[in-house]
Amino acid sequence: MTVVTRFAPSPTGRLHVGNIRTALQNWLLAKRHGGLFLLRIDDTDAARSLEDHVVAIRADLAWLGLHPDGEERQSARFDIYQTAFDRLIAAGRVYRCYETQGELDLRRKVLLSRGLPPIYDRAALALTEADHVAKAAEGQAPHWRFALDHDTPITWDDGIRGPQQFDPRQMSDPVVRRADGSWLYMLPSVIDDIAMGVTDVLRGEDHVSNTATQVQMFTALGAPVPRFAHAALLTGAEGKLSKRLGALGMADLRDAGVEPEAIVALLARLGTSDPVDPALDSDALAAAFDLSRFGRAPARFDEAELDRISAGVIHRLGFAKVADRLPEGMDEVVWLAIRPNLARVSEAADWWQVIKGPIAAPPVDDETRAFLREAATVATTLDWAGDPWSALTSTLKDTTGRKGKALFMPLRQALTGMDHGPDMKALLPLIGREEALARLNT
């Protein structure tokens, strides 16, 4: 059986790290087994769904290299939902209710005051057809609930959490359709999973109770139940995931210069004991993806770690991968020289300025000025086609007796205006003889 997974975002906002982790895990699971990864746009909420968000979802997935093998939109599938809904009506698995939200809230408070679970009491099941006719005559439209089978315990073997069991008698029959005819999440999702041939549903542990209900919906519609797995939710470095981190979107990370490969490398391993390796590409991550490696403890998302991984990715990027993001005129030799010192590709422009000039060197005392004049004199005698930095420092060490920081730091500062940066052995030939002499003399 071909493994089929899906990612089903609602286009009511931009994708954030939690969404992307779910998308990535489903992509990895499908690729691990040579299967299909599908995108489903859950846009049944017409008032809040925006086409701009649909476009952004596709763009974010593409930026991360998560290319769906197919796409569906719930707003185009209402006929399919109605057909399945009619079957459930005929089978007596959905029923009409009329309680207002205020009435339901009052019932919950009464139950809680008695120490009982605040579940729906199924009062609407006692209504006769005459009652429904009377309600309609009064202008009351019903909302619909799915009738859980109280005689069948709900069980499944969760791919991460292990064996799960729920007592349906301790659960409320969920509302699946509003009085205005619009759909809630639970039932359309099941109908779509059946129609799309989804075999594996991998999502966050906040959906466990939804899964318990949906297991019975699959059965009621005569369909096999997919394999379910629920990953632990993300937390921040200090425990609870902050609102800012929780809403950290792909657009924010992209604008901040984080490499997409870093996001993939980190999110693929969060929740496992496997090391995060920026050298692993998505194919290697997919080949090693294994649900049994995931624990039930919260998975910690750390922005500082993401930055470190992003820098590690940059330090491995070939020139062809970044050429369109580099300053005009920068070639592969320059890229390879400055690459080890970059945390963001955008920082290449700063080092290009160091190479091309002008620079602002720090002020120096008379002794350092004399040392730099001597360096300029030595520099005129060097073979600049070879290794001018090694020749310059070796000669100055012999003639001045300087060594270590006293030798290297004044030269670096005068030549680059910085007290840190790429290896001067690689950088000095890029600055060039005439520009270097001018800087030393200045």
Cα torsion for 169, 171, 173, 175, to the nearest 10°?
A: 180
Residue 166: strand pairing partners: 154
Cα angle vertex 49, ends 48, 51, to 5°? 140
What would the DSSP string read from start to end of 165-196? EE-GGGSPPPEEE-TTS-B-SHHHHHHHHHHT
**pLDDT of amino acid 351:** 97
Look at residue 203 and give its three-state secondary structure: strand
- Measured CA to CA in angstroms, residue 128 lies from 97, 226, 263, 268, 346 at distances of 12, 36, 56, 53, 70
- Which CATH topology does 90-177 take? Glutamyl-tRNA Synthetase; domain 3 (3.90.800)
**pLDDT of amino acid 242:** 57
For 89, residues 6+ apart whose C-beta sits below 8 A from its C-beta are none
Token couple for 12: 């009511």
Q: What are the start-end ranges of the E strands in 132-291?
A: 143-146, 154-158, 162-166, 175-177, 200-204, 227-231, 234-235
- pLDDT digits over 265-316, tens only? 999 999 999 999 999 999 999 999 999 999 999 888 888 999 999 999 999 9
Percent helix / strand / coil, the chain, rounded to 5: 50, 15, 35
Token couple for 46: 């017409």
What are the φ and ψ backbone dihedral angles of 72, each rounded to 5 degrees? -130, 155
What average pLDDT is seen over the chain? Answer: 94
**pLDDT of amino acid 442:** 86
Q: How far is CA 344 from the centre of its chain?
A: 19
Q: Is 94 exposed, middle or buried (0-12, 13-18, 19+ CB in 10 A)?
A: buried
The amino acid present at 278, given as its one-letter code, is P
What are the φ and ψ backbone dihedral angles of 6, each rounded to 5 degrees? -150, 155
Token couple for 53: 């968000």
Place of tokens 């070879």: 386
**pLDDT of amino acid 6:** 98
HSE toward the beta carbon, residue 316, CA cutoff 13 A: 14
**pLDDT of amino acid 203:** 96
What gap in Å lies between CA 286 and CA 30, rounded to an integer? 8
The residue extents of the domains of the chain are 90-177, 319-356, 366-441
**pLDDT of amino acid 288:** 95
**pLDDT of amino acid 309:** 97
* b/e code 375-399 from CB counts within 10 Å (16+ = b): bbebbeebeeeeebbebbbebbeee
* CA dihedral sign, ordered 204, 205, 211, 213: negative
For 85, residues 6+ apart whose C-beta sits below 8 A from its C-beta are 94, 144, 177, 187
Q: What is the pTM of this model?
A: 0.90
Q: Which residues of the chain have pLDDT under 50?
A: none
- Pair 339, 315: CB distance under 8 Å: yes
Alpha-helical (H) ranges within 382-432 are: 388-400, 405-416, 424-431
Match domain 366-441 to its CATH number in 3.40.50.720, 1.10.3720.10, 1.10.10.350, 1.10.10.10. Answer: 1.10.10.350
What gap in Å lies between CA 358 and CA 133, rounded to an integer? 86
